[in-house]
Amino acid sequence: MGLMVVGVLIGTFIAHVVCKKLLAHWVASKIEGSEKLSAVIRVVEGGSGLKVVALARLTPIPFGLQNAVFSITDLSLPNYLMASSVGLLPTQLLNSYLGTTLRTMEDVIAEQSFSGYFVFCLQIVISIGLMFYVVHRAQVELNAAIVACEMELKTSVVKGNKPNTSGSSFFNKRTLTFSGGGINIV
């Protein structure tokens, strides 16, 4: 388990630094056209950044895409590494548990008993069920955080207040405009 945590920290650190130093402008240009990714960035740069990064790590969204999106936010590297580590911990624990306790097919076949096959199948079903439950909960929480941020932004713009974008590297490059009663990021 310790080796997995160290490996995740090193991999996440390298991916984040490479994305931030080499790909930030390219990623920002690609994200400008996606309302969903723009909303994720606003949430990360708001008060829920650590929570969103941790929850995103539990979802089946490809890590390459996550690393790219999170690299253009103003979330500090230590906070990003901590949130990523916390978010990946359940998956690491599950993989570690399965790797140490799951019986191999060879063991089950060697026993040639109904109970051996039953326990093996039960372990697989429980593991898959647990994985789907964790992913589903993470997606629900992530979507709720994004919707809350969008509502806060719309409320502040409708009331005539300028949205709080201080310290936001993503917002500093964009302006808010009205279009048909909605908000578009331009």
Taking residues 65-91, report their average pLDDT. 88
pLDDT in tens, 83-92: 999 888 887 8
More confident residue, 165 or 175: 165
More confident residue, 6 or 111: 6
Q: How confident is the model at residue 160 (pLDDT cuts 50, 70, 90)?
A: low
2 C-beta neighbours (distance < 10 Å), count: 7
β partners of residue 177: 184
State the amino acid at position 186 in one-letter form.
V
Reply yes or no on whether the pLDDT at 175 is more than 50: no
pLDDT in tens, 34-45: 777 777 787 788
Lowest mean pLDDT among 3-17, 26-40, 57-71, 149-163: 149-163
- Give me the percent of the chain exceeding a pLDDT of 70: 76
Q: DSSP characters for 128-162?
A: HHHHHHHHHHHHHHHHHHHHHHHHHHHHHHHTTPP
Q: How confident is the model at residue 181 (pLDDT cuts 50, 70, 90)?
A: very low
Q: What is the pLDDT of residue 17?
A: 93
Q: What is the pLDDT of residue 184?
A: 35
pTM beyond 0.75: the answer is: no
Domain boundaries, the chain: 13-31+48-75
**Three-state SS at 6:** helix
CA distance 43 to 149: 6
pLDDT, averaged across the chain: 75
Q: What is the pLDDT of residue 37?
A: 75
Structure tokens at 105: 């097919």
The answer to whether 58 and 90 have CB atoms below 8 angstroms apart is: yes
